[in-house]
Structure formats: structure tokens, C-alpha cells
Homo-oligomer: A and B are copies of this chain.
Amino acid sequence: VVLVRTRNPLNIGTAARAMSNFGSLSLRLVNPYEASFREARSAVGASAMLKNAQEYANVADAVADCSLVVGTTAARDRQLQHPLKRLEQAAKEIHEQLVHGRVALLFGSEKTGLSNRDLSYCHFLLRIPTREDHGSMNLGQAVAVCLYELNRQGTGRVQPADVEPANSAVLNRITASLMEALRISGYFGAAEEPGKEEGIRRLVHRLNLSSEDATVWLGMLRQVLWKLRS
């Protein structure tokens, strides 16, 4: 569970509590708003979880070792750039991926949710099916509902597939190399538009690269870069 720019420490506490309720997972925090969050009294029975939470300066670092990154959103149609799945379906795919490696579940800040930049690190987005007129859930409750559904499906585990997917660190190195290659090549024109990097990162994530293939792609890109620079 990755909480991004959470404002209210009570929500970090209840998120930790739900994590403890539904099984031991690892809690990661990207730029929490209040430094005092580790003392949140709402983490009843989950103070150890809160103490062991890891802090990161950005989403990229927080999800570097994950092979699937899923963003949560209350929106129905905001991001047409990402596949949007209902929790039940998303949980199924998360379970399939957990056979291979770590999965990051991202929750944005209470006010604004995940930014487009945050979302660009995601393979797909997840939505808890709520009422059309009032889709926005309390953060701690959203975490609890997601973990309940994951837990519910956990009993009937799926078959492992035979390919290991690329982790986020590799995908981000590919994105960075590709970006530089494109920049040097003049792909973006004179003035690079904002949001281009996010678009490229989504493009890379949609490839669903295997770990093996990703290494090959990165090698090819770096070779191209070396040539472009010289």
C-alpha cells in the first residue's frame, strides 16, 4: 500500500489498521503532509505497521521494486489514458501478479487524489464501485475495502504464468532513456509540452514487458542513446 501525499495522519493510521486486519503487507508513504504521522492514534493494534512504514520522496522510488502498479481513483472518466477496472476485476489481476512479485496499490491525497504524474507510473487504475452522485470515499475506508476484496479472493489463487514481468525500476529506466532519445532526436519540437513524459511512461507500461524483454529493450535504447550523444 502506497499512500501519496496523505494530509491527515488519522487516515494513515486507519490505513495501517486495515492492513493489519487483512494480513501483513508493507506500508509506504510518499511525502506525507505531517511528520508526526507515526504517532497516529487511529492505528489501533497496528502501531508496529506504522513504525515500520517506509518514506519516499516520490512515487518512482516507492514502486521501484514492484512489477505491477495500480492506482486508485474515484473518477469514472477522467483518465481515458489508462485502463479503468472495477475493484473485483482489478483484485483478480493483482492476485495473478502477486505470484511473480510485488504489487503497489496507490492511494492519492484526500483532496486531490493521484496526480497525472503519479498515474503515469501505473499499469492500470482501479475504481471501487460507488454511487454516481457520491463516488469519493474516505481514504481509510477505501484502503479497507480494497484489502477486503483482495483478501476475499485470496483463497482461490490463480495459476502462475511462465513469464516474469518487468519491475517498475526497469520500466522507468526505459522511459527515461526513451525520453532522452526522443528529446535529442527533436521528437518534441522546440518547446516540449508538459505531460509528455507521463504519456511516454504510460506507453511503456502498456507494453506489459517481461523482465527479460525489458532488459533487452533497455540495452537497445542505451545503445541508441550513446550513438545520439556522440
Interface residues in chain A, defined as those with a beta carbon under 8 Å from any beta carbon in chain B: 10, 14, 17-18, 20-24, 42, 44-46, 88, 128-131, 134-138, 140-142, 144-145, 148-149, 151-152
The closest CB in chain B to the CB of A142 belongs to B144
**A95 → B minimal CB distance (Å):** 16
24 A-B pairs, CB-CB below 8 angstroms? A14-B138, A17-B138, A17-B141, A18-B137, A18-B138, A20-B134, A21-B130, A21-B131, A21-B134, A21-B136, A21-B137, A21-B141, A22-B130, A23-B131, A42-B138, A45-B134, A129-B151, A140-B140, A140-B141, A142-B144, A144-B144, A145-B145, A148-B148, A149-B152
Q: Cα distance A138–B136 when bound, in Å?
A: 19
B129 touches A152 (CB 8 A): yes
Partner of A131, one of B20, B88, B129: B20
**A143 → B minimal CB distance (Å):** 8
Q: Cα distance A193–B10 when bound, in Å?
A: 44
Contacts of A24 in B (CB 8 A): 131
Query: Beyond the given A21-B141, A22-B131, A129-B152, could you list 11 further A-B residue pairs with CB under 8 A, ordered by the A residue number?
Result: A18-B141, A20-B131, A20-B134, A21-B130, A21-B134, A21-B136, A22-B130, A138-B140, A138-B144, A144-B144, A144-B145
Contacts of A21 in B (CB 8 A): 128, 130-131, 134-137, 141
Contacts of A10 in B (CB 8 A): 10
Contacts of A136 in B (CB 8 A): 21, 44-45
